[in-house]
Amino acid sequence: MAYVNNIRMFVRVYELGSMSAAARDQRTSPAVASARISEMEKHLGVRLFNRTTRSLKPTENGRIFYDGAVKVLEAIDAAEAAVVDATQNPRGTIFVAAPLGIGRRLIAPHVPAFKDEYPQIDVRLRLSDRSIDVTGEGLDVAFHLGILEDSNLKVRAIADCPRVLCAAPDYIARRGMPADGAALLRDGHDCLNLRFPGAKEFQWTLQTEEGPRKFEISGPFESDDGDVLTGWALAGRGIVMKPLFEVAEYLRDGRLVPVAEATPPLPVQLSCLYPHRRFKDPKLRLFVDFMVARCRAEIATLERAA
């Protein structure tokens, strides 16, 4: 088993590009990680990484060994999954990431119920609206709301989510009701922007009579927390684009009203992403199945109430 653990450490060092990051991922110290890599190199009789004080890069032998090592771990994981009674004795820890709004409304409220049903599975939930590197950050599953770019991750679709542009009545009283996306630009409306390091320029893709069109919106407020934007919208500070289920209660009670309805935003897909080999783990399959069912039911309930 020690050799298998060494292989797992090598794979994580290779994927993360850092001995310390791999050590954190494997819940051990950098010294132990380094020792395991050294054992691998001694066993194989080759150097797997070129190491300096500033960088760590795989050698050609390291790149060759990585491809085979991944296949070995996939085979071991599949064999272990085949003999585990996933419905009666699942155990271990699942590392999960989700956007702030999704995590607070759809995921976090159901984690205790999942724990009650599977008491030997622990869930480590991380919430952030920034872009997540699932493999690089050692995650088992990440929930994603938006248009998926090319990815080597496995994707489980949860729901297509309509979106809405909305603002508080106070804002509309001051600035007027924009009829469409063109009015947002023409009349200089304050658009509330989700912004985090590395984010692209501010654009809202809206459905026009000619088809989808990108509008380069602007405004005086931005945040990397989507719930902050909702709070600003409720305070009358601008127009926000949100999934319908996130603002359904505010639309229902009139604290927010739809705007630019002639050019609605395109819907986005809520999905969960995970590395291919990880979904062979029974506890991850149980968690994903549980959360997908709960999310679908909750979204449908919220959207009906709008």
Of 32, 54, 83, the position where a domain reaches its end is 83
- pLDDT for res 198: 52
Do both 46 and 187 map to the same domain?
no
Q: Tell whether the model's pLDDT for residue 147 goes beyond 80.
A: no
Do both 108 and 61 map to the same domain?
no
Q: Report the C-alpha gap between 113 and 111 in whole angstroms.
A: 5
Do both 77 and 106 map to the same domain?
no
pLDDT tens-digit profile of 240-299? 999 999 999 999 999 999 999 999 999 988 998 888 666 667 888 899 999 999 999 988
pLDDT tens-digit profile of 230-242? 999 999 999 999 9
Q: Tell whether the model's pLDDT for residue 128 goes beyond 70.
A: yes
- pLDDT for res 172: 96
Q: Which of 46-60, 106-120, 205-219, 251-265 has the lowest mean pLDDT?
A: 46-60
Give me the mean pLDDT over the 143-150 stretch: 76
Do both 157 and 289 map to the same domain?
yes
CATH of the domain at 25: 1.10.10.10
Do both 153 and 274 map to the same domain?
yes
Instruction: Give phi and psi for 278, each to the nearest 5.
Output: -75, -25
Q: Which residues pair with 144 in a beta bridge?
A: 271
- pLDDT for res 10: 86
- pLDDT for res 194: 83
Q: Are 165 and 258 in contact (CB under 8 A)?
A: yes
Reported confidence tier of residue 149, pLDDT bands at 50, 70, 90: low
Do both 218 and 130 map to the same domain?
no
The total number of structural domains that make up the chain: 3
The angle formed by the CA atoms of residues 191, 197 and 127, to the nearest 5 degrees, is 85
Do both 262 and 170 map to the same domain?
yes
CATH of the domain at 220: 3.40.190.290
Reported confidence tier of residue 83, pLDDT bands at 50, 70, 90: low
Do both 147 and 282 map to the same domain?
yes
Of 66, 83, 100, the position where a domain reaches its end is 83
Q: Tell whether the model's pLDDT for residue 306 goes beyond 70.
A: no
Q: What pTM was estimated for this model as a whole?
A: 0.67
Residue numbers of the domain that contains 63: 2-83
- pLDDT for res 181: 92
Do both 181 and 241 map to the same domain?
yes
Q: Tell whether the model's pLDDT for residue 86 goes beyond 80.
A: no
SS (H, E, C) the chain: CHHHHHHHHHHHHHHHCCHHHHHHHCCCCHHHHHHHHHHHHHHHCCCCEEECCCCEEECHHHHHHHHHHHHHHHHHHHHHHHHCCCCCCCCEEEEEEECHHHHHHHHHHHHHHHHHHCCCEEEEEEECCCCCCCCCCCCCEEEEEECCCCCCCEEEEEEEECEEEEECHHHHHHHCCCCCHHHHHHCCCCECEECCCCCCCCCEEEEECCEEEEECCCCCCEECCHHHHHHHHHCCCCEEEEEHHHHHHHHHHCCCEECCCCCCECCEEEEEEECHHHHHCHHHHHHHHHHHHHHHHHHHHHHHCC
Q: Tell whether the model's pLDDT for residue 303 goes beyond 90.
A: no
Q: Tell whether the model's pLDDT for residue 81 goes beyond 70.
A: no
Do both 183 and 250 map to the same domain?
yes
CATH of the domain at 284: 3.40.190.10
Do both 170 and 240 map to the same domain?
yes
Of 56, 83, 110, the position where a domain reaches its end is 83
Tokens representing 2 are: 């020690």
Place of tokens 């395109």: 266
Reported confidence tier of residue 217, pLDDT bands at 50, 70, 90: confident
Place of tokens 């985090």: 196
Which is higher by pLDDT, 236 or 203?
Answer: 236
Give me the mean pLDDT over the 149-156 stretch: 74
Do both 194 and 261 map to the same domain?
yes
Give me the mean pLDDT over the 88-97 stretch: 82
